[in-house]
Every structure is written in structure tokens, then in C-alpha cells.
Amino acid sequence: MPPKPLQAPSLYRRLAALLYESIVLFGVAWLAALLYGLAVGQRSGVMDRQGLQAVVFLTLAIYFIGFWLGPGQTVAMRAWRLRVVDANGRPLRLARAGLRFVLGWLWVLPPLALAWLTGLDHVAGLGMLFGWMVLWALASYLRADRQFWHDAWAGTRLIDIPR
């Protein structure tokens, strides 16, 4: 029996795509940081850190929103045959893709902010981040359609692409 059209792909496939995406993003962020550092003569990561963070954030926004507006798939989503669409199965528009990008930060910002506010060391902060990401992923099982919460709030859906 084929899955319902707007039913989420398996959690395994979505997390595998997320892991693949993190590898791709390492290169994307590294290249953006390198170009920024060369452009401003940066000698260390703490020199003009806010500017570097802004450039990397904007680079990630362009990467995700650009791919979601075009084919509806990033590099990793294409490899795992996933596509992002709006709640009605249509391609995303700019505002919805931007909202999904911002809400996607819920995967990492809450534990990072809490670790910073409480002064946790890096190992404890990474442990908290990992634990939060596991809970956030499993929270999709609280929804009948199994979509991640940031997708539900953004009015988007991840769907399977047939072979």
C-alpha cells in the first residue's frame, strides 16, 4: 500500500538526509567563512565574529531558500528522494520558504541558548544539543502526519519522491 501523498517519509530517511545535509553544509559554511576572512583580512575566528556569523547565516539562508524555491530539494534531499512542498502539495513561495528556514533553527537554538545562559562547558552543551535533537525528531510521532513541528508551523511538508 503506497504512503499517503502528504504523509512524511520515514524518520530514518529524514534523519539520514539531515546527516548528509550537515556534511554538505560544513563545506558551504567553510567556503563562506574562508571568502569572508579573505575579504576582510580576518586573522582568527574571534576577529569580527559577528560579521562572520552574519555571513554564514545569510549563506545558509540563500542555500536552503534557493533550493526550496527551485526544485524543492537540497542536495541531500535529492539524494534521499525527499521534497519540501506547502501544506497543499504545491511548490514553496519565498515567504513560506523563509519561514521554514527560520523555524528550522528550532533544531539547534534552544539548547545552544540554554547552554550559553547556564555557562555549560562545550561537552555538556553538545550533549544537551544532541539530546534536544533526538527529542525534537521523536516529537514528530506526536503528529498524525508524522511531519516535524517546524514544518507544521511553517505550513510545509516533506514528501517522498518516487523512483
Q: How far is CA 79 from the centre of its chain?
A: 16
Of the pLDDT bands very low, low, confident and very high (cuts 50, 70, 90), residue 6 is: low
CA distances from 75 to 52, 95, 96, 126 (A): 24, 21, 20, 26
Rounded to 5 degrees, what angle do the CA atoms 42, 44, 50 make?
70
Residue 5 has pLDDT above 80, yes or no: no
d(CA 96, CA 126): 30
Parallel, antiparallel or unpaired: strands 156-160 and 82-86: antiparallel
- Contact present, 33 and 56 (Cβ < 8 Å): yes
Task: Say what the pLDDT of residue 42 is.
Answer: 83
Q: Where are the domains of the chain?
A: 11-160
Amino acid residing at 66: G
User: Could you report the per-residue pLDDT of 46-99, keeping only the tens digit for each?
Assistant: 778 899 999 999 999 999 999 999 899 999 999 999 999 999 999 999 999 999
d(CA 48, CA 145): 44
Residue 2 has pLDDT above 70, yes or no: no
- Contact present, 131 and 111 (Cβ < 8 Å): yes
User: Could you report the per-residue pLDDT of 105-132, keeping only the tens digit for each?
Assistant: 999 999 999 999 999 999 999 999 999 9
Classify residue 118 as exposed, middle or buried by CB count within 10 Å of its CB (0-12, 13-18, 19+). Answer: exposed
How many C-beta atoms lie closer than 10 Å to residue 50's C-beta?
7
d(CA 102, CA 54): 14
User: Could you report the per-residue pLDDT of 13-50, keeping only the tens digit for each?
Assistant: 999 999 999 999 999 999 999 999 999 988 876 778 89
Task: Say what the pLDDT of residue 46 is.
Answer: 72
Torsion of CA 129, 6, 159, 99, to 10 degrees: -50
Global pTM?
Answer: 0.89
